[in-house]
Amino acid sequence: MIFLYITCRDVDEAKKIGRALVEKHLAACANIAPIQSVYSDNGKVKEVNEASLLVKTVEQKVQQAEDVVRALHSYKLPCIASLSLYRLNREYKEWVVSCVA
């Protein structure tokens, strides 16, 4: 099981990406939340409103999912972080696997 953490320009972009991943069976679920980000850009500190996208998938689908994210994302350099799970309840894992099969 893998969770993909992705930051997006806004909630609409996160919804578009999340929906595409679920429709293409590259993810079982995508959670979206508005966030505030502080980051460095060419030596300047910036603050922006963004959205985070937490995608539930499996290792075998990560590369395909990343390709879809890059194709739909508005950023030149999107954050796409793969987080391996230490533990997950069996029933939920089985559901995820069935959704991306």
- Residue 27 has a pLDDT of 98
CA 60 vs. chain centroid, Å, equals 15
- Residue 45 has a pLDDT of 97
Token pair 């300047």: residue? 44
- Residue 2 has a pLDDT of 96
Burial of 29 (0-12, 13-18, 19+ CB in 10 A): middle
22-76 confidence digits (pLDDT tens): 999 999 999 999 999 999 999 999 999 999 999 999 999 999 999 999 999 999 9
Q: Which domains does the chain have, with CATH numbers?
A: 2-96 (3.30.70.120)
Q: Which residues have C-beta within 8 Å of that of residue 9, sequence separation ≥ 6?
A: 50, 51, 74, 75
* pTM recorded for the entire structure: 0.94
- Residue 31 has a pLDDT of 98
